[in-house]
């Protein structure tokens, strides 16, 4: 049966799983039966359709089985994509970059704030001393006396 979704909608894991099984001319049921761990055929169909991510064990078992079958049959297959960073979308990457940029800005802002606070801590006693001196040096204000006239 022909795939209904575009490769971009399925993702590299599903595309590889489907194309490799197709290249080896295997049914979903035959593949699931050949794997060491028992999986429902719907699980592999979901992986191939991009609606589910395979577990680490299933992905490893699929890779081993397809590689062995390809060698046995002399059928060239693409290398298996890794579970993880390669399956990250461009949106995920741009979000991660934006977060890194914000974290860097926050760190810089904290450094600047700490520097300002350090300068203020040094200046505070000087300002207090100058204020006290100014009060001492100012002439005493006299209260105007009313003349009795």
d(CA 135, CA 146): 27
What number is the average pLDDT over the span 65-89? 86
User: What pLDDT does 73 receive?
Assistant: 94
Secondary structure, 3-state, 9-33: HHCHHHHHHHHHHHHCCCCHHHHHH
User: What pLDDT does 113 receive?
Assistant: 92
Residues 6+ apart with CB under 8 A from 35: 58, 61, 62, 65
Question: Each residue of 6-43: pLDDT tens digit?
Answer: 888 888 999 999 999 999 999 999 999 999 999 999 99
User: What pLDDT does 95 receive?
Assistant: 82
User: What pLDDT does 4 receive?
Assistant: 75
d(CA 73, CA 70): 5
Is 7-87 in CATH node 1.10.260.40? Answer: yes
Angle at 30 between CA 59 and CA 43, to 5 degrees: 45
Here the tokens at position 117 are: 């606070």
User: What pLDDT does 80 receive?
Assistant: 92
**Please, what is the average pLDDT of the chain?**
87
């Amino acid at each position: 049966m022909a795939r209904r979704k575009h490769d971009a909608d399925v993702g590299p894991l599903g595309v590889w799983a489907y194309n490799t099984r197709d290249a080896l001319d295997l049914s979903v049921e035959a593949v699931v039966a050949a794997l060491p761990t028992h999986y429902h055929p719907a699980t592999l169909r979901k992986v191939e359709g991009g609606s589910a991510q395979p577990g680490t064990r299933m992905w490893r078992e699929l890779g081993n089985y397809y590689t062995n079958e390809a060698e046995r049959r002399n059928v060239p297959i693409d290398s298996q994509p890794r579970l993880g960073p390669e399956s990250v979308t461009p949106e995920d990457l741009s979000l991660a970059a934006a977060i890194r940029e914000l974290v860097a800005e926050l760190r810089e802002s904290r450094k600047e704030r700490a520097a300002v606070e350090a300068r203020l801590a040094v200046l505070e006693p000087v300002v207090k001393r100058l204020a006290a001196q100014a009060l001492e040096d100012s002439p005493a204000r006299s209260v105007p006396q009313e003349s009795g006239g």
